[in-house]
Amino acid sequence: MTQKIKAGIIGAAGYTGGETLRLLLNHPYVEVLFAQSRSQAGMPVHTVHADLTGETDMQFCDEVPASADVVFFCMGHGEARKALQEHSFGNARIIDLSQDFRLAANTVCGDRTFVYGLPEINKAKIADAHNIANPGCFATAIQLALLPLAGAGMLTDVHITGITGSTGAGQKLQASSHFSWRHSNIEAYKSLDHQHILEIRETLGSQQKQLPAINFIPWRGDFTRGIYISAQAVCTLSNDEAYNLYDQFYTSARFTTVSRKMVNLKQVVNTNKCILHIETTGDHIVIHAAIDNLLKGAAGQAVQNMNIMFGFNEDAGLKLKATSF
């Protein structure tokens, strides 16, 4: 029987913190030691995360115990580096879900060095790592859509559109996440200037030295969770050749699947899956990718990385089923 590890969450009151807590509470090899939140300290976690009613009597804490084996940072961008400066965290392994340590220039903080946590290309490094920088949500979907082409040195003239649910904006109320604004509405934002482009370029650049521009236009969608992207590039591969390339690249990927049928969000929401679909026309290829932004795009991938780090089955605690109807 595998001995349980002790896990803690900092910033446990937000959407990502809540998803991480839900997964860890149901993980066969994890004991949740603490769920920290300064704003909710002393309150039962189910008062914020109503889906955990009846699941646990745990309360949010303010202080950070030093005895955890792994700590998940579910804080806003810029807060993870501050947390490491304020606390030593002993010998705990750190999995950070912010963007603080994703780029090569920012991977070192004190005596800790972070490994980029995209299991589909970094599994061996993750297994040996003590600290993980979890990828961004849009970055995950786009990288998984384009990595096989980059690996073959065939990435040219890339144009991407993508749409995300309201949970991608976080739990803090904003004008663009208010129901009255979001309902029956779509809006483009950060056109060609999204923050995830930098990490996307670094990851793709590890596969293909000369990269084209990554032209990405994200949209806010009229739904709560999920990301759907369509990436278009110039490519002379036939449909069969493209599928063979993608099948081979992801042959050992536990959660990334290449589908011959068109993918939709309901196939992946509430799971840790990424499903890809390919279309070719003339000298162009389109790769569609769908993920749950809170799971494969955040908490689910973080738990997947934890499983790899501690030598658990990669899918432990992540055998989740989508709700199709």
Q: Does 137 participate in catalysis according to the annotation?
A: yes
Q: Which phi and psi angles does 245 have, rounded to 5°?
A: -60, -45
The CA-atom distances, in angstroms, between 50 and each of 26, 54, 87, 230, 262 are: 16, 9, 30, 34, 34
**Bridge partner list, 217:** 161
Sign of the dihedral defined by the CA atoms of residues 298, 150, 160, 256, in that order: negative
Q: Which phi and psi angles does 293 have, rounded to 5°?
A: -65, -25
Instruction: Using the structure block, give the residue that is written with the tokens 């449909």.
Output: 239
Instruction: Using the structure block, give the residue that is written with the tokens 């991407």.
Output: 160
- CB-based contacts of 74, cutoff 8 Å, min separation 6: 9, 10, 11, 12, 14, 16, 17, 20, 97, 299
CB 49 within 8 A of CB 103: no
Q: Which two tokens stand for residue 5?
A: 């590890």
Q: Which phi and psi angles does 97 have, rounded to 5°?
A: -100, 5
Which of 61, 74, 109, 137 is flagged as catalytic? 137
Q: Which phi and psi angles does 6 have, rounded to 5°?
A: -100, 130
CB 276 within 8 A of CB 227: no
Q: Which phi and psi angles does 67 have, rounded to 5°?
A: -105, 15
Count of CA atoms in the C-beta half-sphere (13 A) of 278: 24
Point out the residues that are catalytic: 137
